[in-house]
Amino acid sequence: MLSNTTTLLLLSFSHIVKLELGKLPGLRSIFSPASLFGTLIPTYFWNPGLSWQWQWRNQAAIYTISLDVARQFLFLKGQFDWRIDSDHANGAEWSRHRRILSLAFTPETFGGLNALVWEETTTLYHQMLQAEGWTRESDIMISAIDRITTKFALILIARCGFGQPISWDTPPQISGMPLGEALVIVSGMYRLPIKRLHDIEMAYTSLAAFMKENSDPQRKDVFRLMIRASEGEGKLHMTDDELAGNTFLMLFAGHETTAKTLDAVIGFLAWYEDVQEEVYQEIKKVMSEEGKLTCGELIKVQSCFLEVARLFQTTETVVLKTDEEDGHGGQVILEPGTRVAVDVVGLHYNPKYFPNPEEFRPSRWCGMSESGMTMFSVGPRSCIGRRFALTEGVAFLSNLLRDWKLHIRARVMRGVTAMTLGVGEVPVRLTRR
């Protein structure tokens, strides 16, 4: 009796929802995928969960996977509500944030920053070799490469983003707790049991103290450039809360996404040995007689980074809500309050734009302009730090592949969603070239 009643209620609920949506096909669930219960319950047919974009990536849904539609929405200004940092502000507020941050990434300022990122990546790589004892080894087993990449990316963003001269064997430390621990707590605590929520206060306090302790205007890292740009706006400068929001965004986006992409690149190159050999030959070609690498034309290395960023798109969904009625030429009318979601994972597996989307094919990115690098989003809200990420990724991979041949110990290239989409633990073996 109970099962019949439950089934009847579910069918009634489904019928009502379908009527309200004009019987459009799409995602239906009891809990929102982004809600507490929706994220805690694993992905099943009745609950999307955190991993639905990956596990259901080949199934049609009401969320759009059209690049044309995505461009149409993401290029619009003022007609959608985003929610304060440069990624989630809206309208004039967003324009102010973007203008201030973009001054830290102009071609003039980023030319020097790009060189700094390359130099610091190379320096940190050699420090890592010494600290990990790799200089004395010719064969290394790593059970999970993310242990290396996550630490590497976090230290690099601390150096180039905030001017902190942190070494490999010294954990990034700020007032009260390590920087990495504070970042993880602030970014993920809301998904954990309530009994641990009190740790958020210390994490936020530590991040705030970090910003105040590192406000030396003479340094030329991204954080200092952002502060000087903000001060130059006069009355329109960022408040402390806005500066904190953008600082957290830089810390999180600057290490989490890059580290996860590097994990997957290493796994794919270890599996596809022919591609790895092509990349290695390119690295040897541009390497100087002294064995040093410069920021040259490492097209194949960059293409591997971009292809993996497509296959495991760290940002899964972009959700917008209309603020005003928009007819877009009278073809489709969106009422105010309508939510529009771009399924970014599905978009990058759309065969219309990426033939044989399940295939690892780095060559598809050779000669691609920055505007075509859709994994960094499109339009005015495209990732402001994409050159930073590309420079770091190419520099790290070039140094690693110059010295080591990669071997996969188990094929585990499956999508795993936490705060962002990435791969699970990737066990690799390194043998010295």
The enclosing domain of 72 has a CATH number of 1.10.630.10
Radius of gyration of the chain (CA): 23
pLDDT above 90 (res 138): yes
* Domain-embedded: residue 204: no
Domain hosting residue 295, numbered range: 50-164+214-432
The reply to whether the predicted model has a pTM over 0.75 is: no
Closest to 222 (Cα-Cα) out of 211, 233, 209: 211
Q: What is the mean pLDDT of the chain?
A: 72
Q: Given pLDDT bands bounded at 50, 70 and 90, which one contains residue 378?
A: confident
| pLDDT given for residue 292 in this prediction | 66
Spatial CA neighbour of 342 closest among 375, 309, 366: 375
Q: Does some domain include residue 37? A: no
N-term to C-term CA, the chain:
69
What is the spatial distance between Cα 45 and Cα 348, in angstroms, rounded to a whole number?
23
Q: 360 vs 93, which has greater pLDDT?
A: 360
In the predicted structure, residue 289 carries a pLDDT above the cut 60: no
Mean pLDDT across 378-396: 81
- Which pLDDT tens digit goes with each residue over 188-200? 554 455 444 555 5
pLDDT of residue 368: 83
Residues pairing with 173 in the sheet: 178
Query: Residues, the chain, total?
Result: 433
Residue 177 is assigned to a structural domain of this protein: no
The predicted model gives 321-345 an average pLDDT of: 61
Within a domain: 188? no
Q: Does the structure show a pLDDT above 70 at 8?
A: no
Structure tokens at 255: 């290490």
What percent of the chain is modeled with pLDDT above 70?
46
Q: Do the domain assignments include residue 7?
A: no
Q: What's the CA gap between 323 and 325, in Å, rounded?
A: 7
Mean pLDDT on 281-290: 80
Give the tokens for residue 205: 């306090």
- What contacts 308, CB < 8 A, 6 or more positions away? 261, 264, 265, 268, 360
Name which of 78-92, 116-130, 152-166, 333-347 the model is least confident about: 78-92
Q: Is residue 14 part of a domain?
A: no
Average pLDDT on 167-187 reads 60
What is the C-alpha to C-alpha distance for residues 300 and 363, in angstroms, rounded to an integer? 8
Closest among 137, 39, 205, 149 to 389, alpha carbons compared: 149
Asked whether the predicted pLDDT for residue 20 surpasses 70, the reply is no
Residue 53 has pLDDT above 90, yes or no: no
1, 85, 128, 392, 403 from 135: Cα distances, Å? 69, 42, 10, 22, 10
Question: Bigger pLDDT: 264 or 161?
Answer: 264
- For position 26, what pLDDT does the model report? 56
Question: How many Å separate Cα 425 from the centre of its chain?
Answer: 17
Query: According to the model, what pLDDT value does residue 133 have?
Result: 93
**Nearest of 258, 254, 261, 229 to residue 242 by alpha carbon:** 229
Segment holding 116, helix H or strand E: helix 107-132
3-state secondary structure of 243: helix
Task: Please report where in the chains the tokens 């809206």 appear, as a residue.
Answer: 90
Question: Do 368 and 306 form a contact (C-beta atoms < 8 A)?
Answer: yes
Per-residue pLDDT of 203-239, as tens digits, reads 656 666 665 565 555 555 666 666 666 666 665 666 6
**Residues 304/279, Cβ–Cβ less than 8 Å:** yes
Residue 160 in any domain: the answer is yes
Q: Which of 65-69, 111-115, 296-300, 305-309 reaches the highest mean pLDDT? A: 305-309
**How many domains are contained in the chain?**
1
To the question of whether residue 383 is assigned a binding role by annotation, the answer is yes
Q: pLDDT value at position 62?
A: 47
Flag whether pLDDT at 153 surpasses 70.
Answer: yes
